[in-house]
Structure 1
Amino acid sequence: MSTSSSSSYSGSTWQERLEEACRDAQIMPPTFQIVSDRRGGRTAWSSQVTIQGQTLAARYWYDGKNLNNAKEDAAECALNWLSTSSNASHVRNWSTW
């Protein structure tokens, strides 16, 4: 049985999984921001998400018609960060006992 947090949440999208993880951790919900970068005659789009005061960027840039993919990418990164930081804080707290 897998204990990874990304598989323990029932939401169908990374954004839903992230929101569910925030509710479970009793922290503020994530806030997304769309960012753009002019590249020649075109614009590339990406996303950032802020959670617990930490802003995490999506790994990739997307065409404008795929903005939801940018938010999904950022949500996946944030969920991975949240599960890693939660596990690390439990280890730190346990070791200071």
Structure 2
Amino acid sequence: MSTSSSSSHSGSTWQERLEEVCRDAQIMPPTFQIVSDRRGGRTAWSSQVTILGQTLAARYWYDGKNLNNAKEDAAECALNWLSTSSNASHVRNWSTW
């Protein structure tokens, strides 16, 4: 039997946490974009997430088989950005779209 609590994040992914914050704040859900950069004979992959009109990039580049890690990285960056005092108050004051 599994129980879930909105206040408990154990086992949640960064993407799930970000979606939950958006849902709780009644703002549009995040949108992710995969980006690539050709580097010699290989391609590096990363992700960007857009939230509240702000596009935030993941910190790192990944091998193609690890695209979900790129999205997780971008989601973590977005949550950190939202948690800053000025952005957190903006989210609290945001009305539904």
Q: TM-score, normalised by structure 1?
A: 0.79
**Given the superposition, is the C-alpha separation of residues 90 and 65 from structure 1 closer, same or farther in structure 2, using an over 3 Å criterion?**
closer
Consecutive unaligned residues of structure 2, counting only runs of 5 or more, are none
Contact 1:6 1:79 in 2 (8 A): no
Give the whole-Å Cα distance in 2 for the aligned partners of 1:22 and 1:96.
10
> Does the 8 Å CA contact 1:9/1:20 hold for their aligned counterparts?
no
Q: What are structure 1's unaligned runs of at least 5 residues? A: none
- Paired residue for 1:66? 66
Q: Look up the SS of the partner of 2:3 in the other structure.
A: coil
- Return closer, same or farther for 1:91/1:38 CA change in 2, 3 Å cut-off: closer
SS class of match (1:29): coil
More off after superposition, 9-18 vs 59-68: 9-18
Which is richer in helix? 1
Name whichever of 10-19 and 29-38 sits farther off. Answer: 10-19
Q: 1:13 to 1:94 in 2, by over 3 A?
A: closer
Inter-partner Cα distance in structure 1 for 2:84 and 2:73: 17
Counterpart Cα distance in 2 of 1:65 and 1:30: 22
Q: Tell me the number of residue pairs that the alignment of Structure 1 and Structure 2 aligns.
A: 97
User: Once superposed, which parts of structure 1, at least 4 consecutive aligned residues long, lie more than 6 Å away?
Assistant: 1-7, 90-97
The C-alpha deviation readout for 1:19-38, integer Å capped at 9, x for no partner, is 00001111000000000000
* Cα pair 1:45 1:67 within 8 Å, conserved: yes
CA contact (8 A) 2:18 2:78 kept: yes
Larger RCO, structure (CA 8 Å, separation 6 or more)? 2
Deviation at 1:87, TM superposition (A): 5.8
The CA deviation at 1:82 is: 1.0
Deviation at 1:69, TM superposition (A): 0.1
Percent of pairs with identical residues: 97
Mapped to 1, the partners of 2:91 and 2:48 lie a distance apart of 28
**CA offset at residue 89 of structure 1?**
3.1
